[in-house]
């Protein structure tokens, strides 16, 4: 089945550090990938939609200069949390949908998630 | 009103029980529907898509009522391994070809031995 790989799975770093998270679709191409954040006991919240070869689309309230997204190829999107602070500590998850055949209403497949802890 | 609403539970049921989860969504133009399962501190995993005619996968049955904007998931013969949070997910179209998944807050199921 479709596999999405996310790396790293766990990051612990000091306040002020920038952290890059990678999301790869391993056996399919994805023109669009999605980045979510989930706080404990809360639902996944979409942060932004990553579009291959163009700018990401950010959800309301998400700072684009804080969360930099790059989707340089059909199989890789990266999220960089710049100058991270303790309030950025969360579970970040990416997802992708096979874009062949239009993508359409195909289900999204999620990466394993990255647990970010800022001290 | 939340875009996707679910009873957060928890639902505590004995092994072998049948349990049903419900979900309502607010956007009548929603395109497609899914149930995902999320284990504690893990990523969501697709359990099943939900089709208008209803669909079954082993012990799991999903139903969709577009008129009432209501989705359900029925689990028969519950197993201990079914314990997880079940996420109701709606795929909405917001212009062009970009679809957006809207997640419910999830319903926690705890199956007791």
What is the DSSP code string of chain B? --SEEE----EEEETT--EEEEEEES-TT--EEEEEEE-TTS-EEEEEEE-TT-EEETTEEEEEETTTTEEEEEE-S--GGG-EEEEEEEEEE-STT-EEEEE---EEEEEE-
**Using only C-alpha atoms, what is the Rg of chain B?**
14
Would the pLDDT of B95 be above 60? no
d(CA B57, CA B61): 6
Chain A residues in contact with B100 by the CB 8 A cut-off are 34, 46, 49
**Mind telling me how many Å the CA of A82 is from chain B's nearest CA?**
23
Flag if A43 and B98 touch (Cβ within 8 Å): no
> Between the ranges A40-44, A101-105, B42-46, where is the mean pLDDT highest?
B42-46
Question: Cβ contacts of residue B95 below 8 Å, gap of 6+?
Answer: none
In sequence order, the β-bridge partners of residue B99 are B93
Q: Report the distance separating Cα B45 and Cα B47, nearest Å.
A: 6
Residue with tokens 């705890």: B110
The residues, any chain, with a CB within 8 Å of residue A91's CB and separated by 6 or more, are A37, A38, A39, A113, A114, A115, A116, B41
Is residue A9 within 8 A of residue A116, CB to CB? The reply is no
Answer yes or no: is pLDDT of B108 > 80: yes
Which A-chain residues 1-20 have CB contacts (< 8 A) with chain B?
A: 6
Q: Is the peptide bond before B53 cis (omega within 30 degrees of 0)?
A: no
Q: How many CA atoms lie within 13 A of A63 on its CB side?
A: 8
Give strand pairing partners of B5: B24
Question: pLDDT at position A19, please?
Answer: 96
How sure is the predictor about B94, in pLDDT bands with cuts at 50, 70 and 90?
low
pLDDT digit string, tens, across residues A20-70: 999 999 988 888 899 999 988 788 899 999 988 888 999 999 999 999 999
- How distant is the Cα of B14 from the closest Cα of chain A, in angstroms? 23
Residue with tokens 């006991």: A41
What's the Rg (C-alpha) of chain A?
14
SS3 of residue A84 by DSSP? coil
Q: Are A91 and A79 within 8 A, CB to CB? A: no
Is 60 exceeded by the pLDDT of residue B98?
no
């Amino acid at each position: 089945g479709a596999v999405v790989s996310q790396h790293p799975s766990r990051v612990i770093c000091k306040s002020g550090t920038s952290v890059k998270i990678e999301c790869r679709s391993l056996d399919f191409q994805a023109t669009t990938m999605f980045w979510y954040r989930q706080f404990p006991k809360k639902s996944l919240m979409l942060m932004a939609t990553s579009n291959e070869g163009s700018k990401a689309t950010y959800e309301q309230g998400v700072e684009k200069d804080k969360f930099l997204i790059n989707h340089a190829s059909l199989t890789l999107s990266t999220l960089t949390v710049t100058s991270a602070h303790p309030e950025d500590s969360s579970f970040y998850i990416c997802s992708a949908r096979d874009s062949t055949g239009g993508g359409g209403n195909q289900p999204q497949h999620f990466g394993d998630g990255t647990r970010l802890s800022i001290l | 009103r939340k875009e996707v609403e679910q009873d957060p539970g928890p639902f505590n049921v004995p092994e072998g029980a049948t349990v049903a989860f419900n979900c309502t969504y607010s956007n009548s133009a929603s395109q497609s529907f899914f149930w995902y399962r999320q284990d504690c501190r893990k990523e969501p995993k697709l359990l099943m898509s939900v089709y208008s005619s209803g669909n079954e996968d082993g012990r799991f049955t999903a139903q969709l009522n577009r008129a009432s904007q209501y989705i359900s998931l029925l689990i028969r013969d519950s197993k201990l391994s079914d314990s997880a949070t079940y996420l109701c997910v709606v795929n909405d179209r917001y212009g062009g070809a970009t679809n957006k998944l809207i997640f419910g807050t999830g319903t926690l199921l705890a199956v007791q031995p």
